[in-house]
């Protein structure tokens, strides 16, 4: 069960940072500052050449680093890590169900 929570939370955090606006456009503003342009809404449309822009503009790329951080945290502080990640995992589960139900 811990691995499922960690996996869902890793995807949710990666998606938030890579292509969602977040509350008060915080993730969009962050991506803009590191060289990612958004022509419409929140999803990145032009990713700069810098390392940070390339890293944060790709959900597959950033998920590796989130996975390392999450797993490392779980090895050191297993209980607190699962508690902190559970809301993100629940959010991911709701998104999956919503996509299945509504398409």
Could you state, in order of their start, the residue ranges of all structural domains in the chain? Answer: 2-102
Among 10-14, 16-20, 42-46, 75-79, whose mean pLDDT is lowest? 42-46
Asked if pLDDT for residue 96 goes beyond 90, the answer is: yes
What mean pLDDT comes out for the span 18-28?
A: 92
Q: Which two tokens mark 86? A: 């559970």
Are 40 and 1 a contacting pair, CB within 8 Å? no
Q: What is the pTM of this model?
A: 0.89
User: Strands (DSSP E) along 1-103, which ranges?
Assistant: 36-37, 46-47
Asked if pLDDT for residue 103 goes beyond 90, the answer is: no
């Amino acid at each position: 069960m811990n691995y499922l929570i960690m996996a869902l939370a890793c995807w949710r955090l990666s998606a938030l940072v890579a292509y969602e606006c977040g509350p008060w456009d915080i993730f969009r503003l962050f991506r803009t500052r590191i060289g990612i342009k958004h022509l419409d809404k929140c999803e990145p449309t032009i990713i700069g050449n810098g390392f940070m822009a390339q890293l944060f503009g790709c959900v597959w790329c950033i998920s590796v680093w989130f996975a390392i951080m999450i797993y490392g945290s779980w090895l050191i502080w297993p209980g607190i890590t699962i508690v902190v990640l559970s809301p993100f995992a629940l959010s991911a589960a709701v998104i999956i169900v919503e996509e299945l139900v509504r398409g």
